[in-house]
Chain A
Amino acid sequence: MTRSVTGLSDVDHAIINRALVAATHEMGTKLIRSAHSPIVREAQDCSAAIVNRHGEVIAQSDLIAIQLGSIAQTLAPCMELFPPDTLKDGDFFINNDPYNGGQHIPDIFLFSPVFFEGELIGFSASVVHHIDLGGGAPGMNPDAGDVHQEGLIFPPTKYNMQHDWNGGPLERFIAANVRMPDATIGDLNAQFAANAIGAKRLSALAAKYSANALDEAMSEMLNYTERRIRVALSDLPNGLYCAEATIDDDGIGTDPVVIRTQIEIGDERIDIRFDGTDDQVPTFMNNPFASTVASAVACVKSVLTDPDIPFNDGVARVIKVDAPLGSILNPRPPAPVRARLLPSNRVFNAVMKALAQIAPGDVIAEGFDTTTSICLSHLGEAGYNIYLEILGGGYGAGINNDGCDGVDCPLSNCANIPIEALEMDYPFARIEAYRLRPGSGGDGKHRGGLGLERSYRILTDGVQFATYSDRFRTSADGLFGGGPGASAEFVIARGDEEIRLRSKTRVVLQPEDLLIIRTGGGGGYGAPAERS
């Protein structure tokens, strides 16, 4: 550990370290508990973090890995436009621009500068997947040809609570342009509340240890994570390792979209490139570069390090990521990006397969690893009612364990919406089954996790279904002799008719339709003959 210039002992460092992590957990918990939309309060599609005054992420709530991976990239353009010395109390930054460090339109990042005795000591940050931000269709627009059809873009901008919120111009502007204003404003208020909590905890630490000591402790947290990642990498043989992963199609055609990775391990560093990856696509499945970085880094962290290493910008000092401009992993604007988690997941898979060559005991087989986004919407007399839920599938099996059944993909961590909560809030549908799919996990010494089935009886006229998913044709590969997981399918049972749907689509449903969603299983690990 480097010597302290502010008089902090090693014990002080350890204590501040844990206090900052605890503060982000509290931010995350209170964000969820005060939020309005089921996608936040039940499914927990949100994250929170504390950032130092230099814009580096120090501590994060363990909620959604993909959101956490790009908080610093989203803040950086804000700080460039509005330097710290121009900030005052009550200011906040907003950014959801996929071409300015953001991910996809629904994820709004809010940053609140934190002052102590008039001095900037850091930022509290939160991100929420908002249920609807306008755009060409409620909740999700699978037909979008560009990012402008996907909803309101908030470029990196500074606003002020007193001036712009609580009935002010920004709040009124948002409320007028989204389909469920009460939910959206309620969820934004939950973000502001989380940021206020983070600010309070950060100030309390500055009061206790001094602003400079706190800054030193935060820098040391980055060093600490960097050290731990370097230690983890030092066990790996240097060399170049390549792999690829595939998406079924771009949503229109039938050709697979391929993601190729080349991982170079050097002395205590890792460079991840995606040369040869397919070009960007005309549909909403492009991966903003921030998402590419976040996915690759999340995979390396998951495979090589102890789960308890705090995830912060110390990671970025060791892991470098690059993807060709114009590819699906670094698209040119204004390519649409709503379903970016599909390529993100394949980035995760490709990196994992490359690492399997050198860390076979730490990796797992491919899982279903597909964000299956189910959006049902209905326009009634009281306005729009939009249901959005992310369904998981089976995890890949590991060296000592069967894959986890029915769980969200590794890059995300959305909980389900309880049947009882869903039916209370969305009277247009009833759940007739929510179960695991027997036999859907790949065979192996250890079996892949099971996919799941959720079926919705449609109860009223005019219900729209929009979705994206994958692995309808390509299933999750087994590893070291393990078998593949079952693939996914969407079916509408309408009377005696069975209508099969594409994996990325939008349709209008009829009353009495039964919409059946079946997600895939994970791949097995090791030959089935070795199963005990």
Chain B
Amino acid sequence: MADVLLEVKHVKKYFHTPKGLLHAVDDVSFSIERGKTLGVVGESGCGKSTTGRVVLRLLEPTEGSILMEGQDIAGLSESQMRSKRREMQMIFQDPLASLDPRKTVGQIIEEPLRIHNIISGAKERQNRVLELMETVGLARRYYSTYPHELDGGRRQRIGIARALSMNPKFIVCDEPVSALDVSIQAQILNLLEDLQKQMGLTYMFITHDLSVVHHFSDNIAVMYLGRIIEMAPSDELFAHPTHPYTQALLSAIPVPSLENRRERIILKGEITSPINLPKACRFASRCLYATERCFGEEPELTEIAPGHQVACFRQDKADAKTV
């Protein structure tokens, strides 16, 4: 494969709960090329945010390796990891909750520059902060305001400026727009896209919003119950969704047209509990095409077209139902 920035291999994250072992992320592997965006979609609770956090080691992986430019960061010591964080940043979902309420905008953006000793002079640091604020479209006059005094869009711009301050190579965007108004969402998405072009950033874009992910991502991974069940280049996935779950997801995207309405696939049943999973396809209990095999065996990801992988035994059946 071409210039791979991040490679995640067989990463697992289990949580111990009173009821048993919770498989939040269960054997997930993917890679992202430099300057590209991997969109990760799935319903809430499918482990997409956990995956993002494990990749940055904000949560320790239970198993697996995370290769950043060939170096396994899962094995780094705490202090090595701290300096590695300069290269890997995260933009969080809730812009207000993720900003320290006691710090001003300037202090928030400045802190990484100070602790990593990127810029030592206070004056230069301040200039850099103002420059970053300009980059993300925050007026200079907000320098000494507090996050609670600003609106959601501006708060998220602070979060972006903060993430950018260290000149990272890789940014995990954990539902960066889901807490924002639709009109603001577009602004933030455009900003992220511009920044990617300007700075050559690599994104892992976590979202449950499929229309956002189509435009934004080069590749898309669909997660269900801690696993990637389908992964393909963005256009390929939207043109030929193969996994029954992906098909159901895509059929739920609203179409702004009166005539060409597509048939909705309505999933029945509840998502299986991620605790003490049986050895079966995780989607089997809700799948329209499930057979006995699906309940007795777990499908692996297999390549069905260049770059298009699917974990399903019944793809032939599902294929016929291309949306």
A and B, one complex? no
B-contacting residues of A (Cβ < 8 Å)? none
